[in-house]
């Protein structure tokens, strides 16, 4: 057994000979057509050009190569030995080029028919679900891929062009974004908690308690809590809204979650908190623009 050395492609050197001699793709196609149809006139008819153009380009190519490709006669043209070698190579080159173009074009069409959307982990349905439902009703052939993650990972994917769009709370300045929606914050409490008697809570009501926040919205919740109640400490829980609510049911504290991610958990009730809203923004990634992105942004602006 041995390790084969990797094939090294020198892009600077590739194509230097053909470039120096001025050999282009049109030369190859004219030669291949003349060889296939046995004459310049029939090749020109097939290619939709003048016979003089085919004849002139092939003569030009032969002069640059310094060798005849065809033997000419009243009956037509016939490949020389050098011409046969040239045609074999040209056929392979043109076929490989056409195949590569087809593959890239197919990939482009597939990409234009898909939309990759990033969401904060545990974001839930809420306004986003309704927006995406409207979008797929407009284009039932559209494939939507939802990618859940924490904000830094989603931002990295947007900057690297791996995501078309993401809904974030604090987008980076170098990416385009628009206001999407505001989502109310809710407090998860055990049903026997005295605070459940209130229809809405103040931030100060939570001071002195163990307060949890799911990972996805935690940075925004912590920042908001520091402004509303400086003495309130919020713990970041490595879980989604459902996990935070289950921790509450176990008597491990109360949890601050966004309304769109509320999870029904036995023994847990939710109450809104005053002046508690999270402003989500639709952030466009560094990918080629797609019609689906424009349509989704239009829906976002219409509902914001």
Question: What pLDDT, in 10s, does the model give residues 230-252?
Answer: 999 999 988 888 899 999 999 99
Nearest to 214 by CA among 118, 124, 116, 117: 124
- Output the pTM of the full model: 0.60
Architecture in CATH for domain 182-278: 3-Layer(aba) Sandwich (3.40)
Between CA 45 and CA 63 the distance in angstroms is 24
Nearest to 188 by CA among 250, 135, 141, 232: 250
Interhelix angle for 51-65 vs 40-47, to 10°? 110
Helix residue ranges, H only, the chain: 16-21, 25-37, 40-47, 51-65, 81-112, 126-138, 151-159, 218-228, 241-249, 291-303
Between CA 289 and CA 304 the distance in angstroms is 22
Sequence-separated (6 or more) residues with CB below 8 Å from residue 200:
271, 272, 273, 274
CA 264 to chain centre: 33
Domain at 16-111, CATH from 1.10.10.10, 3.40.190.10, 3.90.1150.10, 1.10.600.10: 1.10.10.10
Boundaries of every domain in the chain: 16-111, 115-179+281-303, 182-278
According to the model, what pLDDT value does residue 97 have? 75
Q: List pLDDT tens digits, range 63-117.
A: 988 999 999 988 888 899 999 999 888 888 877 776 666 555 445 544 557 899 9
* 115-179+281-303: CATH number: 3.40.190.10
Count Cα neighbours of 190 within 13 Å in the Cβ-side half-sphere: 10
According to the model, what pLDDT value does residue 99 have? 67
Q: List pLDDT tens digits, range 123-172.
A: 555 688 888 888 888 877 888 888 888 888 899 999 988 899 999 998 88
Q: List pLDDT tens digits, range 254-290.
A: 999 988 888 899 999 999 999 999 999 999 998 777 8
Mean pLDDT, rounded, for 162-190: 91
Between CA 180 and CA 131 the distance in angstroms is 10
According to the model, what pLDDT value does residue 267 have? 96
Between CA 72 and CA 264 the distance in angstroms is 85
Q: Do domains 115-179+281-303 and 182-278 have the same CATH topology?
A: yes
> What does each C-alpha distance from 219 to 177, 229, 254 come to in angstroms?
19, 15, 17
pLDDT above 80 (res 8): no
According to the model, what pLDDT value does residue 1 have? 41
Confidence of residue 16 (pLDDT cuts 50, 70, 90): low
CA 100 to chain centre: 22
pLDDT above 70 (res 14): no
According to the model, what pLDDT value does residue 98 have? 67
Cross-strand bridge partners of residue 277: 184
According to the model, what pLDDT value does residue 3 have? 45
């Amino acid at each position: 057994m041995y390790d084969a050395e990797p094939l090294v492609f020198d892009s600077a050197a590739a194509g230097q000979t053909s470039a120096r001699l001025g050999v282009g793709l049109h030369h190859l196609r004219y030669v291949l057509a003349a060889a296939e149809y046995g004459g310049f006139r029939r090749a020109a008819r097939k290619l939709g050009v003048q016979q003089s153009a085919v004849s002139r380009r092939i003569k030009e190519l032969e002069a640059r190569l310094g060798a005849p490709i065809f033997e000419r006669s009243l009956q037509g043209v016939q490949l020389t030995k050098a011409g046969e070698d040239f045609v074999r190579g040209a056929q392979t080159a043109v076929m490989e080029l056409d195949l590569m173009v087809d593959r890239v074009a197919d990939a482009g069409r597939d990409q234009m028919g898909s939309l990759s959307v990033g969401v904060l982990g545990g974001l839930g349905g809420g306004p986003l679900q309704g927006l995406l439902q409207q979008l797929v009703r407009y284009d039932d052939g559209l494939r939507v891929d939802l990618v859940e993650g924490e904000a830094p990972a989603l931002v990295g994917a947007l900057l690297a062009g791996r995501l078309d769009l993401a809904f974030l709370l604090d987008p980076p300045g170098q990416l385009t974004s628009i206001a999407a929606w505001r989502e109310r914050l809710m407090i998860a409490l055990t049903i026997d908690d005295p605070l459940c008697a209130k229809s809405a809570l103040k931030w100060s009501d939570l001071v002195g308690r163990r307060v949890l926040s799911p990972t996805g919205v935690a940075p925004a919740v912590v920042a908001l809590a520091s402004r509303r109640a400086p003495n309130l400490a919020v713990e970041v829980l490595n879980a989604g809204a459902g996990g935070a609510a289950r921790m509450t049911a176990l008597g491990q504290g109360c949890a601050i979650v966004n309304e769109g991610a509320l999870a029904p958990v036995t023994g847990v009730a939710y109450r809104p908190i005053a002046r508690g809203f999270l402003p989500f923004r639709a952030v466009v990634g560094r990918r080629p623009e797609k019609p689906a992105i424009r349509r989704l942004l239009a829906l976002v602006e219409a509902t914001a």
